Structure formats: structure tokens, C-alpha cells
Amino acid sequence: MLTLPTAPDRVRAERPAYRPYRVAVRAVAELSPTFRRVTFTGDELDVFGSACLDQRIKVIFPHEADDAPRGFDHLGVFDPDCIAQGAWYDRWRALPEELRNPFRTYTVRAVRQQQREIDVDFALHGDAGPASRWANRARPGDELVVVGPDDLSAGRLVGIDWRPGGCGELLLVGDETAVPAVCGILESLGDEVRATAFLEVPEPGDVLDVRLAPGHELTWLPRGGRERGAELVEQVRGWVAEHRHIVTPDAAAAVRPGASVALDESDVEAGLVWDAPDGAHDGFYAWIAGETSTVVTLRRHLVREVGVDRSRVAFMGYWRRGRAELS
Ligand SMILES: Cc1cc2nc3c(=O)[nH]c(=O)nc-3n(C[C@H](O)[C@H](O)[C@H](O)COP(=O)(O)OP(=O)(O)OC[C@H]3O[C@@H](n4cnc5c(N)ncnc54)[C@H](O)[C@@H]3O)c2cc1C
């Protein structure tokens, strides 16, 4: 159950779930060789949705071309009508391509409404994309736009894919891009549920401090020289094999490896690899996010080979190897 800080009388049903916020970098912290935490401040962050967990946001970056407009006013995203109508994306799309600032999807790691601050943890991966390039160089005072949840909206929980329902046996799996989400989720859990998490990160120095309630287990898997996803898949398969009594307690319903089952497999090449079902009343629930092919491999293992009902497996392809995020 989520505890919501907003007084109900402030909530307006008609307000869009998400809105653009004008923000500036307040501080940058090197959490580890891979993770850079950027703390943003902005006048209106006192109403930024504070549920956190794996709630997604869009970060709109400054245009990099020399002849492109500076700042963000040309996007029209601060126009009160645009905010009231939730029209930022239509405004953005209506611009000629050369005027559209790049944006990417991130997780809000922390929200401090009173201080008008939010934290976003960037997993750096060189200068390959606009987001990582920006994060590598971020300095206090840098400005950008964050499109995030509005705590004054009745839809302020939109964009949270962690929906375990009444399930008490929880498995969380991710790579470095899912570290902010998994850490946020783990920190929200009490001892009434039991969570096991596996996080693959580039190197041993990327192991972060996380506050865990008793009964939860988090295993960090530094990749080192191994192929991306290899260790993660191996460890999760091993854990599942040892915990079949939890994962598929009704063994008769479980599917044996190799059995033929008709599934609506997501197409890794074509479509969005994403399904975030509402969890069941009790029992097992898995949440898997990160690089798309690893996510698909793990989801296939759980659903096709082990026989977990697909309504108990949330899986989200956060990014694709060799492909920029489509804006
Ligand atoms: C819901 C959601 C939440 C997310 N939360 C976070 C978060 O909190 N922190 C975070 O760091 N990421 C997060 N991501 C992932 C992030 O959006 C992608 O990594 C994004 O592609 C980064 O944009 P970019 O401009 O740096 O690279 P892009 O321009 O999108 O891609 C350029 C190249 O870099 C590759 N690439 C992209 N990401 C990585 C990576 N992490 N490692 C290695 N190569 C990569 C691409 O395959 C491509 O070849 C999230 C994604 C989603 C969908």
C-alpha cells in the first residue's frame, strides 16, 4: 500500500497525471564509477509526485546543435495551457525536427517536496547518447526540463509499474538502469513481504548502500569482463530452481522445460517489450527491467520454462543494445 503525502482536498481530478517542471542542477554526487546522482531544484517541485518506487519521468535535455535555440522556452512547455492540457508531447512533436530537444526516460530516485528537490541517478555509459553525455558534464546551475508526476493530480501514481497487489513473495531483477527503481522499491518494503533482488552492475565499485528491512535480500552482480546479462540470467535461473515451491507452488500447473505453450511473446525486434500486470491476491510476483534482450530471456524462463502465470511477471525493456531510445 502506498502512503500518499498529498492532502486529498488539493487533488484535482482534471489535472493531467504528468507535467513539465523547469529545473536546475543543485548538486552532482559521484555515487560510484557508474552512477552519478543529479539533484535538481525548481520552484514548482513542491508538488512533484512523491510516490517514487519505479515511477518514470522524462528528462528533456538542452539542444546540442550550435544553431538550435538555447533553453526550453521555444518548446512551449511552460505555457499554463500546455500544463493544464497535458499537451507537452504534442507541442514537442509539432515542432520542426531540428528544434525538438532530445528527451529520455529515467526514474525519480527521491523527492523532497519541502526543499523543492528531486534526485535522478544516471548510469553513465560514455558519450554515446544525449542523456549520458549531459550527465557526464552536469554542473550546478545547468537547466533542463523534467516531465514528472503531479501530486495535485488524481493520476499521480501513473507511471508506476511496481504493482505486486497482495503478493508477498517478491523477485526483483535488473541491470544498472534499473538500480534506481529497485533500490526505491526495496526501501519501501516492510517485513510483511519477502523480497529477493538481483542487480547486475558494471563493476564492484558500483555496489551502493541500500536500506533493507529484515527478511529482504539483495545480491549485487558486478559484470566485470563477462557478457552483459550472462551472470544475471544464471543467478536468477539458479534461484528459481531452488525456490520452485515459492515460484510455482502448484507444481502440477507448472510447465516442464521444453513443453510447448502458446504465449504472446513480445517481439524484441519490433515492439515495446513491456507488460506491467496487476499482481495477484497472494503468492509470487516478479519485476524485471533493464536491457531488452536480457529482460526477454528472463521473462521467457519464468513463464515458458517454469510455468509462472504471466499475470505475475512484470517485465520492462528499459533500453536496447545498439539502439537509441526513440523520442
Ligand atoms: C522506465 C525507465 C526508467 C529508466 N530509469 C533509468 C534510470 O533511473 N537511470 C538510468 O541510468 N537509466 C534509466 N533508464 C534507461 C535510459 O532511459 C536509457 O539507458 C537511455 O537509452 C539513455 O539515453 P542516452 O541518451 O544516454 O542513450 P541513447 O541515445 O538512448 O542510446 C545511445 C546508445 O547507447 C546505448 N545505451 C543506452 N543506455 C545504455 C546503458 N545504460 N549502458 C550501455 N549502453 C547504453 C544504446 O543502446 C545506444 O547504442 C530507464 C529507462 C526506462 C524506460
- How far lies 41's CA from each of 51, 83, 118, 188, 299, in Å? 18, 19, 7, 24, 38
- Cell reading at 27: 548538486
In a domain, 157, yes or no: no
Return d(Cα 221, Cα 206) in angstroms, integer: 9
Ligand 1 centroid to Cα of residue 324, in Å, is 8
pLDDT in tens, 98-120: 889 999 999 999 999 999 999 99
In a domain, 9, yes or no: no
**Full residue range of the structural domain in which residue 194 is found:** 169-319
pLDDT in tens, 138-188: 999 999 999 999 999 999 999 999 999 999 999 999 999 999 999 999 999
Domains in the chain, number: 2
Comparing CA positions, the residue from 80, 26, 19 lying closest to residue 47 is: 19
* CB of residue 104 inside a 6 A radius of ligand 1: yes
Decide if 62 contacts 70 (C-beta within 8 A): yes
Return d(Cα 13, Cα 119) in angstroms, integer: 27
Looking from the CA of residue 104, the nearest atom of ligand 1 is 17
pLDDT band, residue 268 (cuts 50/70/90): low
Asked if 174 and 313 sit in the same domain, the reply is yes
pLDDT in tens, 201-242: 999 999 999 999 998 999 999 999 999 999 999 999 999 999
Ligand 1 centroid to Cα of residue 113, in Å, is 26
The answer on pLDDT for 2 being more than 50 is no
Single-letter residue type at 273: V
The answer on pLDDT for 265 being more than 60 is no
Prediction pTM value: 0.94
Comparing CA positions, the residue from 227, 157, 123 lying closest to residue 6 is: 157
- Contacts of residue 248, defined as CB under 8 A and 6 or more positions apart, other chains included, come to 254, 284, 306, 307, 308
Asked if 145 and 270 sit in the same domain, the reply is no
Looking from the CA of residue 123, the nearest atom of ligand 1 is 11
Strand, helix or coil for residue 98: helix
* CB of residue 74 inside a 6 A radius of ligand 1: no
Asked if 303 and 175 sit in the same domain, the reply is yes
* CB of residue 60 inside a 6 A radius of ligand 1: no
- How far out from the chain centre does Cα 136 lie? 20
Ligand 1 centroid to Cα of residue 133, in Å, is 11
Ligand 1 centroid to Cα of residue 318, in Å, is 7
